[in-house]
Chains A and B, each alone.
Chain A
Amino acid sequence: MKRTLALLSLAVSFACPAWSADWPNRNINLTVPYGAGGTTDLTARSIASGMSKVLGATINVVNTPGAGGSAGSLNVQNAKLDGYSLLANGLLAFTTMPLNGYTEKTFRDWDIWIATYAPNGIIVPANSPYNTITDLINAIKAKPGQITAGTAGIGSGGHFGAEVIKAVAGADYKHITYQGGGPAVTATLSGEVDFCPQLLAEYKDLIISGKVKGLASLSESDIELAPGKVLPSILKSFPDAKKYLPMGEVTGIMIPKGLPEDILKKIDAAFESAVKEKEFLDFAAVRSFTVMPKGRAESQAFLETFAGRAAYILYDAGAVTVDPAKYGFKRP
């Protein structure tokens, strides 16, 4: 039924070229499937304000939180495909959505523009005995299953980071889950957990001020947090980790496939300009996000490896029951 509808709208779109020629002639809705003010929301708003300048149309950001971001994503997937409802989402949650059984469609059924990459950062409490990432990895090796990692829960950005640490150490950690990133960081500050592998952006200032110790980032290169304060890449100590990197959250905007090419070209142009806006770059710099704009084709290629890695981390942890192979996801 949905496919018929999609085909029908596709046929309609080819039948009346004037329709796509004057796109956009009204406000565009950009759905963010999380609350206002969150990382995805801020990234989306920042891109939206740049894109609306080029498109000459207002882009309304609509927040529809619920079901770990799936509710809003499905809304856009089921909406009329006319180019007026776009989605902004973090791709860890987005690409693993079919594994939760929410939908049969994968990222391959969408046109995606990737904007930013936010790496995981490994931190330990200020009074922790571990001073380097090697100390921590050795401790996990020495006491498998006893070193605690505080994350925002199964399938969260932190969980993915912790799984990379597990793969590097070749031994398991003890997963302590919290209701969100904030409580996980608080637990690290108070020393309740041994380390925290959430996204670096969540505690950049805590590292700079010395309230926690930053051990490594899960990006491929070192990250300068503040002048003279560099967080080394895990590759410095463990070059073998290369195949799991870069690990972190990737955020972009997307729309189900099937729009006429001239509308997509307009989005291409608006997106390219938006990610070069000074305000957007400043926003990314404050948050320690890497701006890595990728067009439609490039995003698909990138996501093939990214999604496979994310999917199998979840599957191996028992967080999802649908085999990623069902959707042709490749094991890293």
Chain B
Amino acid sequence: MTFQYLLDACLNVLSPANFLMLAAAVLAGLIMGMLPGLSATMAIALLTGLTYNVGDHQTAIIALLGVYVGAISGGCQSAILLNIPGTPASAATALDGFPMARQGNGGLAIFIATTASCLGTILSVIFVLTLTPLLTSFALKFASWEFFFLSIFGILICGTLTARGNALKGWISGICGLLTAQIGLDTVDTFARFSYGNVNMMSGIQLIPVMIGLFGFPEIVKAFKSGSEAKVLQLTSFNILKGFRIVRDNIVGVVRSAFIGVGVGIIPGVGEDVGGWLSYWAMKASGRNTDGFGKGDPRGIVAAETGNNACVGGAIIPVLSLAVPGSAPAAVLMAAFFMHNYRPGPLLMTESPEFLYNVAVYLVFASVLMWLIALGMARVTVRVLTVNKKLLMPVVFLLCVVGAYLINYNLFDVKVMFFFGLIGLAMSYMNVPAAPFILGVVLGSMADSNLRRALRLSDGSFLPLFERPISVAFLIVCVLMILSQTGLLAWLRGKVKRER
């Protein structure tokens, strides 16, 4: 029966109309992913509206999944070429991708990123097909305490996300991001914090304008600094075999990142961006010779891109089994499923059992097509590196402004972008990394609201935190991270040795 469903789905997607639709959707997704401001969530939302009148629901589902995979994967190209992540999901890719491009290896970096993206999605589909029931129960193990510690853990890894190895600067940046996320109506009591009666401030600081500002502005200004390198980069051609070899050599990292990505994807409320960051951190923490991270180590790209794409499958798992979306794009996707007369959730396997297999097969086809199309596009996009920056950056600047505006059609977001652009500029002069700031904004309200919710549930007692295995494990890891990053761990070890 399973085989029959898979075969049917393959035939479905291979029909000329559907295949063309998938290719078009993947291409559209890639382009939207590349443009700063247009995130995967928006791409799917836009397409949801457009597919409303598409008669064949399968065609619509194919298009939606195509645009999802495309948008999550497309962001890496602008991250690598311009150091401006196209979507928050590929922010971690910029850390090593951009240095690689500056060394003239932009093509190779995009190849690795795209291949890793493709593998990430395909691996996550395997999880969808085999482990959906098991992983669903894992998702339900996450309650307020676990969410709180997950976000604290995320902030703590900020210390290691910095290229220059200065953990303190990473933490400062991360905590600033955390504080930025506190602006607006708080999610527990709907109290307006730091908003001074301004309606726009009340609805909170959006992640994307902050990201565009922090990453984009310094790049734009640097291009016009007097004495900045006027020379244009020479592209070194790269060997595809070399790209494959890098991916193959890191296959353990790919699988690990896929596990992390799927896990993060399943947990409701945390999505592709966190998946990329955690995978990157895990790659760095477990690797040897990690000095090159942040300076153009291809392993960083492999981890970040596998991790964020693996979230796609992960986020769809709870949609299919419980009708609870695992990430923001998956939430819009779920709404689109409903619109096309599917009822994802516990009744799915009895009402339309073929749907799970359809989604899985479409995702695999989407990611393979994405790989082909993205690499084809990269032949054109890498030429961006050969353009004189003084000519290129005004265009990028325009894209940044438009991108910030498009999120809510609100000029306030453009102002936010400018404001954080200036902060980003200051940070870049002081060598404070911007990446942890973004992570802080992503995790800030999660840390805040979950701690307060957990304490309200327990009437202010911290005891329940020790009764939950996952949260205790998180607590131990967090304590170890603080000790090791501040050098206390080494000091303790030394002390124990001396006493012996």
Residues of B within 8 A of A190 (CB): 140-143
A63, A102, A153, A174: the one within 8 Å of B45 (CB): A63
Tell me if A286 and B188 are in contact (CB < 8 A). no
- Within 346-374 of B, Cβ neighbours of A (below 8 Å) are at 346-347
- Does the CB pair A35–B140 fall under 8 Å? no
Number of interface residues of B (CB under 8 A): 46
Q: Which residues of B contact A37 (CB under 8 A)?
A: 45, 48, 331-332, 334-336, 338-339
| Among candidates B48, B268, B449, B457, residue contacting A182 with C-beta atoms closer than 8 Å | B268
| Docked complex: B47-86 residues within 8 A CB-CB of A | 48-49, 52-53
Structural contact, A36 and B325, CB atoms closer than 8 A: no
Q: Check if A211 sits within 8 Å of B457, measured CB to CB.
A: no
In the complex, the answer to whether B346 meets A319 with C-beta atoms within 8 Å is no
Q: In the bound complex, what is the Cα–Cα distance between A306 and B83 (angstroms)?
A: 52
In Å, the complex CA distance between A41 and B46 comes to 12
Q: Which of B96-139 contact A (CB under 8 A)?
A: 139
A67 within 8 A of B: yes
Residues on A with beta carbons closer than 8 Å to the beta carbon of B144? 187, 192
Partner of B49 from the list A36, A71, A206 (CB cut-off 8 Å) is: A36
Of A67, A185, A211, the residue contacting B199 (CB under 8 A) is A67
Alpha-carbon separation in the docked complex, A189 to B141 (Å):
10
Query: Do B188 and A177 touch across chains, with their CB atoms under 8 A apart?
Result: yes
Say whether, besides A37-B332, A38-B335, A205 and B410 are in contact (CB < 8 Å): no
> Separation in Å of the A72 CB from the closest CB of chain B?
10
Give the complex CA separation of A177 and B336 in angstroms. 26
Per-position 1/0 for A1-36, Cβ under 8 A of B: 000000000000000000000000000000000011
- Taking the closest CB of chain B, its distance from the CB of A258, in whole angstroms, is 25
Distance (Å) between the CB of A237 and the closest chain B CB? 27
CB of A155, distance to nearest CB on chain B (Å) = 7
B404 an interface residue at 8 Å Cβ cutoff?
no
Residue in A66, A178, A187 whose Cβ sees the most chain B Cβ within 10 Å: A66
Residues B331 and A189 in contact, CB atoms below 8 Å apart: no
Across-interface contacts of A211 in B (CB, < 8 A)? 322, 346
**Is B478 in the interface zone, CB < 8 Å from A?**
no
- The answer to whether B346 touches A206 (Cβ under 8 A) is yes
CB within 8 Å of A: which B308-331 residues: 322-325, 331
B90 at interface, CB cutoff 8 A? no
Contact (Cβ within 8 A) B408 A36: no
Q: How far is the CB of B101 from chain A (nearest CB, A)?
A: 34
CA distance A178 to B188 in the complex (A): 7
| Any B CB within 8 A of the CB of A64 | yes
Cβ contact within 8 Å between B456 and A176: yes
Interface residues on A, range: 35 or more
Chain B residues contacting A203 (CB-CB under 8 Å) are 323
Q: CA A284 – CA B449 in complex, angstroms?
A: 34
Give chain A interface residues in 34-65, CB to chain B under 8 Å: 35-38, 41-42, 45, 49, 61, 63-65
B45 near A36: Cβ-Cβ < 8 Å:
yes
On chain B, the residues within 8 Å of A148 by CB distance are 457
B160 at the interface (CB under 8 A from A): no
Residues A205 and B408 in contact in the complex (CB < 8 Å), given A63-B45, A177-B453: no
Tell me which residues across on chain A come within 8 A of B190, comparing CB atoms.
153-155, 177, 319
* Chain B residue contacts of A182, Cβ below 8 A: 268-269, 324-325, 331
- Chain B residue with the shortest CB-CB distance to A202: B323
Docked complex Cα distance between A190 and B136 (Å)? 11
Closest residue of chain A to B203 (Cβ to Cβ) is A67
Contacts of B188 in A (CB 8 A): 177
CB interface residues, B 438-493, toward A, < 8 Å: 445, 449, 453, 456-457
**Which residues does chain B contribute within 8 Å of A239, judged by CB atoms?**
none
> In this complex, what residue of B is CB-closest to A41?
B335
- Could you jot down 13 A-B contacts, CB within 8 Å? A35-B45, A37-B339, A61-B49, A63-B49, A174-B457, A177-B187, A178-B453, A179-B187, A179-B449, A190-B141, A203-B323, A205-B345, A205-B346
Q: Which 9 A-B pairs have the closest CB atoms?
A: A37-B335, A209-B346, A205-B345, A36-B45, A190-B140, A154-B190, A192-B143, A36-B48, A205-B347
Q: Which residues of B contact A (CB under 8 A)?
A: 45-46, 48-49, 52-53, 139-144, 187-190, 199-200, 202-203, 268-269, 322-325, 331-332, 334-336, 338-339, 341, 343, 345-347, 408-410, 445, 449, 453, 456-457
